[in-house]
Structure 1
């Protein structure tokens, strides 16, 4: 079983503006659509599309519980989300226009999670997680959530000897790096902050992280990614596509990477599927959609180069 944990879920409100989004003018809305928000929930959506058994964990608010429930049901996502009384799951407004120049995101902070809810999650992990499972913790922290609480979650999972993947940032990312987790996906700027030694290059910092963590993926935006595993670092290029909405592309990468890992694929195949599916996501207008066949059609436009070698690796 794969469990995803989204500590600060969201409901994405996708707003399509007619024409070009312009300040100080009336920007008229063509249509509004609701979609799943929160990195861990996005990962669960990807795993579900790959027919990988998974269950989404985390916290949602009571006030708009029905709306979130309808979205989860539409996407056939199995979940055990703890409901916080009197709270409302945050909304993320994603604004797009007719220029296809990318999206603008405006996010709410989220609600305060009670200590009672936190320990309900700990109890669930203690009861159900086993060494055969994978746990993916992804996304931002609720406003009042502490690093100590995050570490308690990590330690609970580690006590089960489970594979732990984290897509976190800032202080949360720094806190888990030394805890013996198995997968991280920072971007290049987060790596620079994570390891403050100014005398080392980005690649040297990735090498240092790879000595601690089995799989290190560093996002380079349109420049693709670096993937480090077993004393090797690869640069993976990203195919050029017509961008509509890049929201959720990184989550599709993580979900696809984990899905292919579970399927027992070799690393080169994993990297191509993850990169291709993320590129497919960028071409869609909502926060979660991607097409596997479309991703496969990008494979010949994705190069994988092992650093330190002039040879390109092909799958």
Structure 2
């Protein structure tokens, strides 16, 4: 059976998942590597120049076994009328100066060219499957490719496309789901069960991800057929993570009682702590990524700066209460099987 790519296989079975929007800093990647864990920079939302600077910072620290995660252009387009209706609905919280409808590809071409030029050892994708030419270009550069999948059908398509390994993301994962189809939600099933189903359908190496915060979960996923396990929520409060102060405080606040998958903040399903904005707008939020992301982004930035957790996207996976403030090395040691 194929093995995980060398940069990953050479390290321990617990990986640090990429988390876009701030948490995945170069400091986190470097500290994880020094603790014996593979970690990735999160290229989503960054400019190509900003991502280049982060790659350079990781390498300047002497770390070569690392990866970069990119968002595959797989827009969930939204009708102008639906965008306008949601903008009107959230205007009381988001303000009157709302941005016009915007669709983009998150600077896909520039970032793809960058990771090839920089010979990043591992590149992972989420939100969809890249085109054949992109996959071929990475293979020609000797770059290993990890594909995020949320179902057996996606896993089969990824294997047929020629990726090197699968990141099997479960329903309980914090932040955005990698589910490919517009309007779809990830299937609500235990991660170990999903891993076993993908293992039965695919010969590719598997990295299991989604709501993993305890050592016994790691052991169970490895027993179910995973070759490694990635953690994200468990390290959101790590000292080296770039998680914002408002988000950090909310993760430790007992006032938050549950998480939910919602399109309210970005138009794409993502798991977050249930706050006032989510409760008011979840049922009315249209599928529309990245348009809704751009619509709510100014509001969310202002809320983060003001310490207003009620209007902020508080990404968190199931088990978030077990995330703790500590050096990443201590958190990873507690998760080692």
TM-score by length of 2: 0.35
Which structure has more strand as a fraction of its residues? 1
Higher relative contact order (CA 8 A, sep 6+): 2
Which structure has more helix as a fraction of its residues? 2
